[in-house]
Structure 1
Amino acid sequence: MWRQLLKLDRSPGTALQIQLRSSLANAILDGRLPDGLRLPSSRDLARILDISRNTVLLVYERLVAEGHLESRTREGHFVRATIKRTGVAPLAAEPVSRLPAWERHFRQAGTFRWLDRPSGWQKYRYAFVYGQFDPKLFPLSDWRECNRLALEVGAVRNWGQDDVDGGSGMLIDQLIRTVLPRRGISARPEEVMLTMGTQHGLYMLSKLLCTPGRMVGVEDPGYMDARNIFSHDGARIVALPVDEEGLSMTPTLGACQFVYCTPSHQCPTGVTMSTQRRLELLDHASRYDQLIIEDDYDPETQYVGQPLPALKAIDKCDRVIYLSSLSKLLSPGLRVGFIVAPAVVIERLRELRRLMIRQVPGNNERTAALFIRHGHYDRLLHNTRESLRQRAGLLTHALRETLPDLTFGEPQGGASLWVTLPGQIDQRALFGACSANGLLFDPGEPFFHEPSHPPCVRLGFSVIDAERIVPGVEEFARHVNALRRRPGRATRAR
């Protein structure tokens, strides 16, 4: 019974003491261990669970201190009878009712395409996925130090209050002093606002700028969630093609009220917008009274040459709204992003943010600010660049050796490679075959505005171990070659 009740995860990095304490406390609170029950001795429970007796003793002592258990001399440990368990009083008679017709209450939604990964993707042998960080590169001890400092009494008084700004001044100050100047951007505190990641910023900008029928230009292929967000608010999406210099200056650009683009490393192709194209885009926006949303989602991972300044840095007319994030480098789960825009825009965005979440978590903000101020962010950035440069080299070399007719550009930065497949490859069949054999990549289809497009995939290399890249590419090539179009055999293009 005890082994079933107190299941422990023995994988590396999991603390058995914390697991055992949580399992026992939860079992007491939800009534699975009734009042007055005598627990096994520390020696017996250690033997049953195959763990150290000291671990059990420490857990018992902690639960006694917390009031979950009581210790009786020469008798053992017992579930304390004074624990108050939560519950609700039953109704004397439940009213007769029918379930709501939910669909009738929903607002009309569009058809969205997502890029969802299967659960447990971390266990794939070859995870060529994008947007994830490598825990082995993350300086956990440094982050813990900053987190400890953020939890000191004086710091908690600063960020722990109910405050619409959430004590965000320290992180905004570090962004203005350290992070933004690397992108060539000079900003004042009233021109910067923190968000729960870039996607949160896009959602608020869409609420602020989009009206039904408004024409919004989005790169094609491009970030599907930006397209989905704008469409959800009734905007009409204008697909803007991308070439080797970035977003193309097509005639349809003139019909847009605002344009969303990713100049640093275009999503998903990785192309960097040229200086000439940036100047043309800014000039076009000025002549046609357009706004530009610049998503600088991967700005500091340039490992070949020098990065170009952000569009925002060379914008002389305040037409660019700049979004970026610390999440890609630190950890996606931290959700730390920011917007740089004219003060009048930031003021309106603060009102919208207050309606959504009131304030962003101040403890993460302060920890991130200390992490930057103490120099840990710079060191992590340097190590990440070197790791990505090495992995990019391994990936491109292996692809040229195994699949020489693939089309892709040499990455100058970023953490992914956009690949056009040879022939008419059935992407759905390729994804299924690779996934069944422990290989995962991002299909290209969700990035395109229309379903008709060349067969493309995105191979991310931020999280996969360097030694797995070459065998992973060989596995990928095996499935690509098996699905190539052969005479007399048709394949379905997705």
Structure 2
Amino acid sequence: MFHLEPDRTTTLQAQLRRMLVSAILDGQIPPGSPLPSCRALAQSLKIARNTVVLAYQDLTEEGFLIARERSGFFVNPDVVTARPKDGGAGQATAEPDLAEPDWVTRFKSRPTQQRNIVKPTNWQDYPYPFIYGQIDQSLFPLAAWRECSRQALSVNAVKEWAKDRFADDDPLLIEQIRTRLLPRRGVRVSADEILVTVGAQQAIYLLSTLLFDNKTTFGIEDPGYTDARNIAALSAGHLSALPVDDHGLILGPELNACDYVYVTPSHQFPTTVTMSLERRQALLERAVERDFVLIEDDYESELTHQGSPQPALKSLDRHGRVIFVSSLSKTLAPGLRMGFLVAPRPLIAELRALRRLMIRHPAANNQRTIALFLADGHHDTLLRRLCSVYRERLAAAVTALARHLPEFAVNLTAGGTALWIRGPSDLDMTAIAKVAEKRGVVIEPGAVHFLNQPGPANFCRLGVSSIPTERIEPGIRLLAEAVREHRKHSA
């Protein structure tokens, strides 16, 4: 009945425990039945007897098994009889109810119909994944993270985070954000001006829910962040495309009609350019003059590879015109979903109340672990390592592109984890991406980032955060082959 597999992520004891629980709850081992002796099962599975003993003891403590002296272990009948009977088995094969609601006509919006970045879910199986927003697990400080997780599981720590905080955040994390992260960006605020979010996307969603309606004009860089555009489209009445150049957002007449302007000045998404200090100051002046609010996504600001980063818009703001959004996804891991938002107290108070209705607060155990990770200096160490590695990888990518695809123009970046590339005007990078994928190369076509469709088809983005340096040149060589193949079939 049982077959254990060598698995680095799951111990043999955990595998055995899971299989026993499944067999008991599924009725494969009847209630009251004896289990094999520890020695017999260990010999059968070719594992240590102690592994079986510990698994049996765990299940006995949790009530799945009953230990009888000199008789062995038996399935506890109470566990099986306490399970609810399957009252819906017959319903699963029943004919559809003609009175079932027509859900399509009830939808007030269709998020599934929006244009989104698409990448293979199994991107890790590809040898050359030039995708963005993922991490190279070899760079993750696993030992340090485990230590912080262990501290977060101490008796006193669990007493702190296990309780319902309602709408409050972990005070240690707030303090680390306030004193460790924000000062690097020149931002100095009090604790009640900070809200922890489930990533930057939730921050944008909260803002759009609270501030936007069908009369709102939302300005977004073009090309710009796809998810910010799609979130705003659910609430705002009008989306305005704001062009960018080599110095970031252009201060054109389109700004004048906006109520809110979403901007990524540190590393513009997706072109990677940095907004100049002069333009930042001019943008703030325009916001006051035209009475609009700036939503600053401090995107990849800490991944600066040369010189000092430009000050955040928020640090230059003297009139409360900037809402500051940031995330730890690009430095820690996107799966942790941890971000934060800085805004004036009245706005934070309403955002906190709104978040309480949605999720109350982000998982408190994760908040405490990240707080400890920051407090112990591990994040600073990680940043230094990431900047060094990403600088090397971006340089390798630029060199390989110049060698294998000299007809492509590359936006040279002073930081971040990706390159924005413009191919010859006759190329369709979406079609080329499909050809490249067959060769094991994954790239991200750029057309999806443009607000107005059809967008330019000759742009793409190459991310380097999840591909080792030694695979960059071979991957770009294969990409060049895909370009030649596409041109050959398109001629």
TM more than 0.5: yes
- Secondary structure of the 1:323 match is strand
Q: How does 1:278-289 map to 2 (within 5 A)?
A: 278-289=280-291
The question of 1:469 aligning with 2:480 is answered no
- Secondary structure of the 1:17 match is helix
Write the distance in 2 (CA, Å) between the matches of 1:112 and 1:403: 32
- Counterpart selection for 2:15 from 13, 16, 19: 19
Partner of 1:460: 463
Q: Is the 8 A contact 2:243 2:250 kept in 1?
A: yes
CA displacement, residues 104-159 of structure 1 (integer Å, 9 cap, x when unaligned): 22214474111132222221111111111222222222222222222223222222
Q: Is the 8 A contact 1:425 1:485 kept in 2?
A: no
Partner of 2:31: 35
- Counterpart selection for 2:79 from 69, 80, 83: 83
Partner of 2:252: 250
After TM superposition, give the deviation of residue 436 of structure 1 in Å.
Answer: 2.4
Partner of 2:103: 102
Write the distance in 2 (CA, Å) between the matches of 1:159 and 1:257: 39
Q: Is the 8 A contact 1:139 1:380 kept in 2?
A: yes
Write the distance in 2 (CA, Å) between the matches of 1:38 and 1:209: 63
Question: Which moved further from structure 2: 37-46 or 402-411?
Answer: 37-46
Q: Is the 8 A contact 1:159 1:167 kept in 2?
A: no
Partner of 1:59: 55
After TM superposition, give the deviation of residue 350 of structure 1 in Å.
Answer: 1.0
Write the distance in 2 (CA, Å) between the matches of 1:49 and 1:462: 41
Q: How does 1:91-490 map to 2 (within 5 A)?
A: 98-109=99-110, 111-450=113-452, 451-484=454-487, 489=490
Write the distance in 2 (CA, Å) between the matches of 1:47 and 1:410: 62
- Amino acid aligned to 1:470: E
Change (3 A) 1:311 1:151: same
- After the TM superposition, list the runs of 4 or more consecutive aligned residues in structure 1 that deviate by more than 6 angstroms: 93-97
- Amino acid aligned to 1:26: S
After TM superposition, give the deviation of residue 463 of structure 1 in Å.
Answer: 1.3
Q: Is the 8 A contact 2:2 2:19 kept in 1?
A: no
Q: Is the 8 A contact 2:31 2:77 kept in 1?
A: yes
- Secondary structure of the 1:386 match is helix
Change (3 A) 1:441 1:16: farther
Question: What's the % identity of the aligned pairs?
Answer: 44
Change (3 A) 1:400 1:89: closer
Write the distance in 1 (CA, Å) between the matches of 2:59 and 2:105: 50
Write the distance in 1 (CA, Å) between the matches of 2:102 and 2:402: 55
Change (3 A) 1:157 1:74: closer
CA RMSD of aligned residues (A): 2.3
CA displacement, residues 454-493 of structure 1 (integer Å, 9 cap, x when unaligned): 411111111112221121111111111211368xx45xxx
Name the TM-score, length of structure 1 as normaliser. 0.92
Question: Which moved further from structure 2: 383-392 or 95-104?
Answer: 95-104
Change (3 A) 1:449 1:89: closer
Change (3 A) 1:103 1:56: same
Change (3 A) 1:48 1:165: same
Question: Which moved further from structure 2: 28-37 or 374-383?
Answer: 28-37
Question: Which moved further from structure 2: 422-431 or 276-285?
Answer: 422-431
Write the distance in 1 (CA, Å) between the matches of 2:27 and 2:118: 38
Name the TM-score, length of structure 2 as normaliser. 0.92
Unmatched 5+ stretches in structure 1: none
Question: Which moved further from structure 2: 384-393 or 36-45?
Answer: 36-45
Partner of 1:69: 65
After TM superposition, give the deviation of residue 18 of structure 1 in Å.
Answer: 1.6
- How many residue pairs get aligned? The number is 483
Write the distance in 2 (CA, Å) between the matches of 1:329 and 1:187: 23
Write the distance in 2 (CA, Å) between the matches of 1:56 and 1:26: 16
Change (3 A) 1:161 1:118: same
Question: Which moved further from structure 2: 331-340 or 112-121?
Answer: 112-121
